[in-house]
């Protein structure tokens, strides 16, 4: 059982900027992985993706641990997506017995089922903020 703690904070310009930078890196990493998958039929590993992106501006704008966690999240989401496709091929019904739409929107539905909280309207999901990068003035502001 995993226990998590969610801390809701008021929007701050610094945190909003960090979320925007994290979104940019997520999108860039996702694009690289998709291009390699569709053009070369090769799924990149975390190490390949990290090697390709570590010199990119989007990767360097964030602390290295945060960037690495974002890339690990990309790999985890794609593995979950492929698992959902495999499960769909075995059983095209949900756990409630509903049939999953398999037309053009099928891929979207499978992705939505695999990780339902990943699609947000404003484009900001979440990112791993390592404790050592939080400055004391930000902590004072949050409390």
Report if residue 7 sits inside a domain.
no
Report if residue 6 sits inside a domain.
no
What is the residue whose two structure tokens read 């501006």? 57
Report if residue 3 sits inside a domain.
no
> Measured between alpha carbons, how far is 24 from 136 in angstroms, rounded to an integer?
26
Report if residue 118 sits inside a domain.
yes
> Measured between alpha carbons, how far is 122 from 23 in angstroms, rounded to an integer?
10
User: pLDDT tens across 34-70, in order?
Assistant: 998 888 888 889 999 999 999 999 999 999 899 999 9
Q: What pLDDT shows up at residue 95?
A: 64
Range of the domain at 37: 13-142
Q: Which residues of the chain have pLDDT under 70?
A: 1, 93-143
Q: How many domains does the chain have?
A: 1
Q: What pLDDT shows up at residue 112?
A: 62
Task: Using alpha carbons, list the distances in angstroms from residue 110 to 70, 80, 99.
Answer: 22, 10, 11
Report if residue 43 sits inside a domain.
yes
Beta strands in the chain (DSSP E): none
């Amino acid at each position: 059982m995993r226990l998590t703690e969610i801390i809701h904070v008021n929007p701050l310009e610094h945190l909003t900027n960090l979320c925007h930078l994290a979104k940019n890196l997520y999108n860039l990493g996702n694009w690289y992985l998709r291009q390699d998958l569709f053009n070369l039929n090769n799924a990149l590993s975390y190490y390949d993706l990290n090697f390709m992106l570590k010199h990119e501006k989007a990767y360097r704008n964030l602390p290295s641990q945060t960037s690495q966690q974002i890339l690990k999240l990309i790999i985890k989401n794609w593995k979950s997506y492929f698992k959902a496709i495999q499960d769909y091929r075995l059983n095209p019904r949900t756990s409630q017995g509903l049939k999953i739409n398999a037309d053009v929107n099928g891929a979207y539905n499978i992705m939505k089922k695999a990780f339902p909280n990943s699609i947000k309207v404003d484009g900001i999901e979440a990112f791993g903020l390592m404790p050592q990068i939080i400055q004391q003035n930000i902590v004072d502001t949050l409390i």
